[in-house]
Amino acid sequence: MIRVFYVDLCPSPGGSNISLLHLVSHLDRRQVQPLVALAAVNPFGRFEEADIPVARIHTPRWERPPSGSGSPTERLKAGKLADTMRSSPGRAMLWHTAGGVRRLARDDAPVALALLRIMRAFRPHLVHLNDVLPLNRPGLIASRSAGLPAICHCRSFDTATPADNRWLLPGVNGMIFISQAIAEAHLAVMPPLRHYAIVPNAVDLADFVGPVDRAAVRAALGAPADGPLLLMAGRISPWKGQHIFVEALARVREKFPAVHGVIVGLAEEADGPGYADRVAAQAAGLGLTQHLHMAGFRSDIPQVLAAADVVIHCSVKPEPFGRVIIEGMAAGRPVVASALGGAAEIITHAVDGLLTPAGDPDALAGAVLHLLADPDERQRLGVAARRTVVRRYQVDDHVRAVQTFYERVLADRRSAMDAGA
């Protein structure tokens, strides 16, 4: 049996948490003993609910007051200092270096020390960092200090900096990429990796069986029991495109006055401060106050998706993968998605879903209108979508691929140590 220490310090519930939960909860416990490190500020509690061992880590970066929250005088002084330090190339370089050192001492070092203490007690054979290298510096610092092999499970397009490649990448024994698009982005800017694999995210089909009381779920979302329902799920962030969803909903309502839209997810304030409020104001300006429902975070996503007529994905930037896409497909719903990144790898247009140009509310509305006008087409695409998930995105296949990758990395590590001996 191998012990694996999983590190995911995301400050709020999201796709990385859910994907890691699917992986860890389906591991063969006769082969793998897990321990998961999560940020103390993250309210995601489903690991504990599933009786998975969890260590909660305090993360100074996410726990201190946001920048700019001081007094007007303090903010003015800080702004003047920053302007002065950026006034020449030499000062700018010094400012940048000082900032890096300050972040290391203030943010990364305390977290790395906390993780190192856990590693020394748990004595893992492998450290599984549940996102890209730039988001896992404390975990990699700790694993290198402990002399442990580590892998990065890359879930975003945030690629490593030259400094990361120089100082931290040598401590990475392998990388798992969740899509071909992610693999291409990362491999293009780093030295050759000894081990990597493309392992798409997955769903547990057991979560998508059984009857769903659509009327009750809709009522919980604030939507009527009848009439067309469009649903978008994911973090509320400018790049996710909730504003595109609202524009498209307004156009669809011109032809289907009874249509309602639901946005499920939490606001990602770090990425777009005030964006959720702007989306709500946009909806009000378009006369959608009674037709758009902001449902917040939901833990019953399979039931929520099953209550919709069409599932919408409208990111305006390439999606690393698009978990909600395969979840909507697993629920047997027709999915309309932006033709970017991982979404274009999942959906075959007009075969098991529809793809539309990113950032184009007219095209999105046109695709939705096509589906709402043709119940048979919605049924056909929903059945085909479910079939695609069964064939390509089942959690057991995902777990086997990850455990096989573990074996490969650890076997290579043992060979290298034997050769060194």
Contact 22, 31 (CB under 8 A): no
Q: Report the distance separating Cα 370 and Cα 313, nearest Å.
A: 16
Nearest to 321 by CA among 12, 22, 33, 28: 22
CATH of domain 205-392: 3.40.50.2000
pLDDT for the residue numbered 191: 92
Q: 20: closest CA among 39, 42, 58, 46? A: 46
How far are the Cα atoms of 106, 293, 368 from residue 413, in angstroms, in the given order?
33, 52, 51
Strand, coil or helix: what is 421? coil
Encode pLDDT of 146-193 as tens digits. Answer: 999 999 999 999 999 898 889 889 999 999 999 999 999 999 999 999
Same fold, 2-65+92-202+395-420 and 205-392: yes
**What value does the mean pLDDT of the chain take?**
90
If one compares 102 and 68, the residue with the highest pLDDT of the two is: 102
Architecture field, domain 2-65+92-202+395-420: 3-Layer(aba) Sandwich (3.40)
Q: Looking at the predicted structure, is the pLDDT value of residue 257 above 80?
A: yes
Q: How far apart are CA 265 and CA 253, in angstroms?
A: 23
What are the residue ranges spanned by the domains of the chain? 2-65+92-202+395-420, 205-392
pTM equals: 0.88
Task: Band the pLDDT of 62: cuts 50, 70, 90.
Answer: confident
H helix runs in 168-241, sequence order: 180-187, 214-221
Whether residue 302 is predicted with pLDDT greater than 90 in this model: the reply is yes
Provide the token pair at 73: 């005088």
In this structure, are residues 160 and 134 in contact, taking their beta carbons and an 8 Å threshold?
yes
3-state helix, strand, coil in the chain (%, to 5): 50, 15, 35
Give yes or no for a contact between 302 and 208, defined as CB atoms under 8 angstroms apart: yes
Contacts of 161 (CB under 8 A, 6+ apart): 134
Rounded distance, CA 55 to CA 53, Å?
7
The tens digit of pLDDT for each residue in 185-232 reads 999 999 999 999 999 999 999 999 989 999 999 999 999 999 999 999
For 397-412, how does the pLDDT look when each residue is reduced to its tens digit (9 = 90+)? 999 999 999 999 999 9
pLDDT > 70? residue 311? yes
* Residue at 200: amino acid letter: P
- Distance CA(391)–CA(397), nearest Å, equals 10
Q: Return the minimum-mean-pLDDT range out of 22-26, 65-69, 127-131, 330-334.
A: 65-69
Task: Report the range of poorest mean pLDDT among 78-82, 113-117, 128-132, 301-305.
Answer: 78-82
